[in-house]
Chain A
Amino acid sequence: MSAPTQQSDATPASDPQAVDLDAQRSLKGLPFWANPRFGLLVVIAALVVVFSSLRSSFLDTGLTLVPMQQDLSVFLVVGLAQLSVLSLGHMNLAVPRMAAISAFAMGWCYQHLSMPLALGLLVGLVVGAAVGALAGWIITATGVNSFIVTLALDFALVGLVSLLYSHVGDGVAFPVHPAGMTTLRNDTFSDYCTGNVCGPPVPLIVLFALAAAVLVAVLFRLSRIGREILMTGSNLTAARLSGIPTSRRVIQAHALSGALAALAGFLLAINSGAFSADIGNSFLLPSFLGPVLGGTLLSGGAVSVLGTLLGATLTEVIQTGLNLLNFSVQDLNIYIGLVLLVALSLDRVRHVLAERRGTRA
């Protein structure tokens, strides 16, 4: 069994588990602004005001808001895929390639078996879950650190995916468009009216992302399996001694991560209009950005789905805003990296301040 918390923690001198528990405990008695989610909300609101005053097109429905929601749906699900294993204190560096190989499976099913959209999606989810479960199984069976296992798996899948595309597909993408794909891509709820009342300008695929978010939140908050996964992440030995089948929980969390990566691949394929080999390439950084900005601990034992949504939203707002201000892709990277650093440092400062006030009171 790996214990990646110890070596990846920034304060090697102290026991990270103890620190986390302290942090959790002290948060309850702290002022509301000590909550990282609140800080994110303020920053998002401020940025929206800034960007929309600089460029009025920032609030344009068709030009900005709808594409933003489409991108956000993908990155929310990508973040959730990472969050599923962060709950264990594990990492999944193979999220990009799990999405890629599932997208291949889905594209192949649509192309060669002419499957309906929903059935193909199901196949993709199963493939993703299977690859994830494989990663989880290797981790539990060998006790090797999840970082290494998923890194090596990513390596292997990079090769496998492009081999599959060049031998089975026709090079880079499946040209197939199963029934319903175009509808999912183009339609928003405002296209569906009953009488004079039309839906809000929300793309249909947002539903998929929200459903995934709600499911993951319910899983970790209410279900027995979810709670047991969190306990496994928070203290492996204690969880095992309490009779939790920790190996099975690890495999399940990784399978969930794989399935969510598959869903993200599906959503991206819908957005971009093709099941292609480059799906997933841009997933690694966003998969960490959302959960980490949202306050999910890398050391395991605590997750925040709402925080992941806010973290992903913040990244998306910055990207769209800087795009509108004609920043190049490279400049974008600089600013997103800086925002990540500043946000995390501020989080630290806020936490320290809040704790000081807490002890004084």
Chain B
Amino acid sequence: MTSTVDPTIDPARATRGSSRLRALTFLRGTEFTLIVLSVVGFVALASTTGGNLLTGPTLTAVFQYLAVPILVGLAQMAVLAVGQMNLSVGVVTGFTAMVAAWLMVHIGLPAPLAVIAAVLLGGAIGLANGLLVVLTRINGFIVTLATMTVIDGLRYGVNGTGTFQNYSSGLVSLGQASLIGVPTVFILALLVAGAVAVFFRRAALGRQLLASGGNPLAARLSGISNDRAIVVAHVLSGLLAGVAGIVVVALSGSVNASIGDDLLLPSFAAPIIGGVALTGGVVAVLGTCLAAFIVRLVDVAQAQYSIDQSWVDLIVGGVVLGAVLVTQVRTGSREGRRR
């Protein structure tokens, strides 16, 4: 997960030699900035709270609740890679969490099966999104807006406004556990991020997705099916949202249908701050993870200083805008120098 796009083997970039170098420096720049920002933010927060942040339970919580933002950020990133959007990321996370809990409580399915079923459900929803986009040729934004509305309803259909709890003590204790001091759910998120990074960097299919997102015409002329790329990206996005749903189930011990309401905007914030372009063709796994971490730090600061929750939204909004502006200014001045 250390790297994002290796431009030397990126077929989309091969056609645009000059932009290749620019994209490389820009990506490195973004990630470097984010690393500095994360470290500075963390150190500042740790020192101003008198080391409270570094005590066991607090530190564990910081990383435990980082898993879901990372996963939904990656879910959004997967579709951004082909130039699509997925507005249903948040509600799919909530829906799969509810279904997993329902399978365990009402059907009596053992936890491992319920987990697999929920992830597959996420993938199936992604497949439906992708097929709808490809078959109807309706804009992906609108398709996922519609499926978001549908799934929002389904999410409440599982158990109304009621709460599921006491489902699987094994799963919950696994979700709460730590491995050599690192929360298991955070490890899971990192593993998934690593797999996504490898997929986009090494797998032929992943490269095809990026090629299709970067330049659909060139991709088609090189024998890549743009339709397939769109479907695969949506399936991947659904699977990742499903994993996020499972993490919620394992972490919290009780779930209700409001899960996912506050995930849509963070799902965009992480990849966009992380340096992913809305135009497609670029992924930044490390950037997305770092951005999720920075947003999490703002959250932690709010809890530590008992600031009004509203400030978090205000600051995150400002940070997203600022990140975009900085990127734009940097690429702009670089272009200017070239001329």
Interface on A for B, CB 8 Å cutoff? 4, 6-13, 91, 138, 142-145, 147-149, 151-163, 166, 285, 288, 292, 298, 328-338, 340-341, 344-345, 348
Contacts and interface: CB of A to CB of B under 8 A. Distances in A.
Interface string B302-339: 00000011111111111011001100110010000000
25 contacts: A6-B83, A8-B83, A10-B136, A12-B280, A145-B279, A147-B85, A148-B320, A152-B317, A155-B269, A155-B316, A159-B313, A159-B315, A162-B308, A285-B145, A288-B142, A298-B142, A329-B156, A330-B153, A331-B153, A333-B149, A333-B152, A334-B153, A341-B132, A341-B150, A348-B137
B44 to A, nearest CB: 21
Interface in B177-228: 212-213, 216-217, 220, 226
B139 A159 contact: no
A330 B258 CA distance: 12
Interface centre among B138, B147, B149, B311 (most CB of A within 10 A): B149
B32 interface: no
Contacts of B149: 285, 333-334, 336-337, 340
Nearest to A342: B146
A143 B317 CA distance: 18
A278 to B, nearest CB: 14
A345 B325 CA distance: 38
A341 B147 contact: yes
A152 B314 CA distance: 9
Contacts of A338: 146, 150
Contact of A154 (B134, B138, B265, B318): B265
Q: By CB atoms of chain A within 10 A, which of B150, B268, B279, B317 has the most?
A: B317
A330 B156 CA distance: 6
A134 to B, nearest CB: 11
A227 B316 CA distance: 37
Nearest to A16: B139
Given A7-B280, A285-B145, A288-B145, A142 B324 contact: yes
A160 B157 contact: no
A99 B279 CA distance: 29
A341 B325 contact: no
Contacts of B311: 159, 163
B329 to A, nearest CB: 8
B313 A155 contact: yes
A336 B146 CA distance: 8
Contacts of A344: 136, 138, 142, 146
A20 B73 CA distance: 32
B89 interface: no
B154 interface: yes
Given A138-B321, A142-B324, A333-B150, A345 B138 contact: yes
B216 A4 contact: no
Contact of A332 (B85, B153, B213): B153
A143 B329 CA distance: 10
Going nearest first, the 6 A-B pairs with the smallest beta carbon separation are A156-B317, A159-B314, A155-B317, A337-B149, A334-B153, A337-B150
B100 interface: no
Contact of A160 (B137, B138, B140, B314): B314
Contacts of A288: 142, 145
B213 to A, nearest CB: 8
Nearest to B82: A12
Given A151-B268, A154-B265, A160-B314, A7 B320 contact: no
A152 B220 contact: no
Contacts of B286: none
Given A159-B310, A331-B157, A8 B85 contact: yes
B153 A337 contact: yes
A335 B332 CA distance: 46
B268 A334 contact: no
Contacts of B317: 152-159
Contact of B146 (A149, A162, A341): A341
A337 B142 CA distance: 10
B121 interface: no
